[in-house]
Each structure stands twice: as C-alpha cells, then as structure tokens.
Amino acid sequence: MKASPVPSMFRSWVLGDPAPAYVLGGEGARLAEMLAEGLVSRFREEGDTAELVHWSVSDLERESPAGTWRSPSFFIRWRVFLLADAGEWKKGPRKEILSYLESPEPSVLLVVPCSDRKARSLFASVRGIRSVSPGEEDVVAAMADFAVSLAAGEGKSLCGDAAVFLARWVGSDFPRFRSEMGKLLAFGAAKGEIGEEEIREVCVAGGMVDPFKLADDLMARDRKSCLEKFRRFAAGAETGDYHALVGAIAWSVRRKLAGDAKQGKGTGMRPGRKGGPSSAARGAKILTALSRIDRNIKGGSGLTPEQVFEIGLLKLLG
C-alpha cells in the first residue's frame, strides 16, 4: 500500500508524537479523512499494524465509545477513529467522549471534524489534543499540496497553480477529490505533466455550477447568466459551500487580473468568452464585495447565506 501524502498543514502532527485527539474546526472539518489516512499511513510505514475506523452519529449512540476504545486489540497496534462531526453528537456520547479524553488510551487516536464553532468550545479545556481551524484558502492549499505529492508519487508533474485549480474545480470534499485525482492520474498515465486542460477534460466540477464561469459573468456584468448559475448553485448548497464559492470566484478574478497585467491588457475575457470589460477597477470592486459577502455569511446580518450572496451579486450586476 502506497503512503498517503501529507500536506504541510498536518506534517508536524503526522510525524510527531501521537495525540489522543485531533480536532479540525471550521472549513478544516472537510480534511478530517485526509488527516486520518495520513496517520494510518505513517504507522504502517513504520512497520506497525494500524486500522482506520469510521464512526457515524448512529455508531456513537449504538456503541459505548469509551468501552470500545479502552478494550485492547491483540492484532492492531494503532487504532484511528474518524468520528462524525462534533456538532452532530448527542448529549450522551458527547459527555462520554469528553470524559474519556481526561484519561485516553495511548493506542487510540480520535480524528474529530468540528465545523460548528460552539461545538469547538467543548475541547477548549481538554489537555494534550491537537486543534486547528483553517480558513477556506488554507483548505484549498492543503488539497493542492496533497494533489502535488500524490502526482509526484506516480511520477507525474502537477504544478502548484494547476493543483489549486483542481481543488477549486472539484471542491473540498476530500473523498470525491481523491476519487477525481485517481481518474486524473489514470487518464494521464502516458503524460509526464498534468495541467488545467487535462483537469477540465477529466474531472467533474463540484456541484452544479462552474464557479469560474460565474466569475466571468461577474466581470462581464452578464446579469442573466450570472444569476441563473448562482440560483442553480443555491438550490443544493449548504453554508460551507457559499464560503467555497467566494474563494473560487475570488481566485478566478485574481488570476484573470494577473494575466491581464502580465500581458499589459486592461480588458479581455477568458478564451471562448464573448468580449466585455474586465478592468482592474472592476476586479477590485468584485474582490471587495466578496470579502464583505464572506463576512456577512458568517453571521450578524440576519439573512441566510443565499440571501447575503444574491444581494451582493445584484449590487455588482446593477
């Protein structure tokens, strides 16, 4: 079994002394499985036996977490449990897990996704655990880092820019990202270098909307097309998806502006698009609005994420 690549965000955790629990807050909850696989891979590389166990909310209610974790395994040296999001835990399992962490079993490691801010406060007084709450940009960087390492392990070259594009294109759901990465490597078996063209050809864009085309519509002030794409996206989106959409649009706009500046252009569109203004001033206005949208989505506006985003788009398209 090949080793699972470890992004720089988790390298010190995976290579350092094991901790009883690893809590991934905010957007970082999406990377929980990546971390869990990295820990198991590390132990196996060192010659130890290790297993990864996924526990859902139902498993936590049905089993006795502390009893299971304290029961010795005669065949497995290290057991890594990837738990359901802490924000979904019921009162009984939550109390038992926190009590267990006061005196944890050394051979058991818990990986805890915790997207809910209030739930993260449960672990504030727990000693010895590792905790991080990365933002959207950090999550994308970790996904890109993982992709570059995975490609290198297969003898392929995937540059940083292409890896970031891949993370934006596919989305930050790790199991799906890993699956799409596998398709990409299989498709490019005869190629030494993988770029944006191959990613677009092979990988399925996350969700129902290409965020980069939505960014083009914003730059071109194409009101009808932009709103149609956004409403199609919103039909199946969760709160975290809106933060991801902000990041993807912002990245696309910055890349467009950087490309125009490099070529000495003040206007233009991505290849295949009809002409329209794409000025630095327009780009700056969009980036400022996206920053405001992201802040308002996090709370305080009294509106739903969909309402916050659409109102922001309407102002930009006015």
**Intervals of CATH 1.20.272 along the chain:** 211-317
Q: Which CATH number fits domain 136-202: 1.10.287.980, 1.10.8.60, 3.50.50.60, 3.30.450.40?
A: 1.10.8.60
Q: Which CATH number fits domain 211-317: 1.10.10, 1.20.272, 3.40.30, 1.10.1740?
A: 1.20.272
What band does 27 get if pLDDT is binned at 50, 70 and 90?
Answer: confident
**Intervals of CATH 1.10.8.60 along the chain:** 136-202
Q: What mean pLDDT comes out for the span 164-179? A: 85
Q: Find the helix or strand (DSSP H, E) in which 21 lies.
A: strand 21-25
- pLDDT for 164 beyond 70: yes
Instruction: Determine the residue type at 38.
Output: G
Is residue 105 within 8 Å of residue 80, measured between CB atoms?
A: no
Task: Give whole-number Cα distances, 211 to 4, 39, 230, 257, in Å.
Answer: 29, 33, 9, 16
Bridge partner residues of 157 (DSSP): 193
pLDDT tens-digit series, residues 263-292: 765 544 444 444 444 588 899 999 999 999
Contacts 24+ apart (CB under 8 A), 55-62: 55/81, 55/82, 55/83, 55/84, 56/84, 57/84, 57/88, 57/89, 57/90, 59/84, 60/84, 60/89, 60/90, 60/93, 60/97, 61/90, 61/92, 61/93
Q: What mean pLDDT comes out for the span 289-314? A: 88
Handedness of CA 144, 146, 152, 156 (dihedral sign): negative
How high is the pLDDT of residue 258?
A: 84
- pLDDT for 299 beyond 80: no
> Which CATH superfamily is 8-132 part of?
P-loop containing nucleotide triphosphate hydrolases (3.40.50.300)
How high is the pLDDT of residue 268?
A: 45
- pLDDT for 78 beyond 90: yes
Tokens of 260: 């125009």
Please give the Cα distance from 152 to 192 (Å, whole number): 10
Q: What is the CB neighbour count within 10 angstroms for residue 188? A: 21
**Intervals of CATH 3.40.50.300 along the chain:** 8-132
pLDDT tens-digit series, residues 185-211: 888 666 778 888 888 888 876 655 677
Residues with Cβ within 8 Å of 314's Cβ and at least 6 positions away in sequence, in order, are: 227
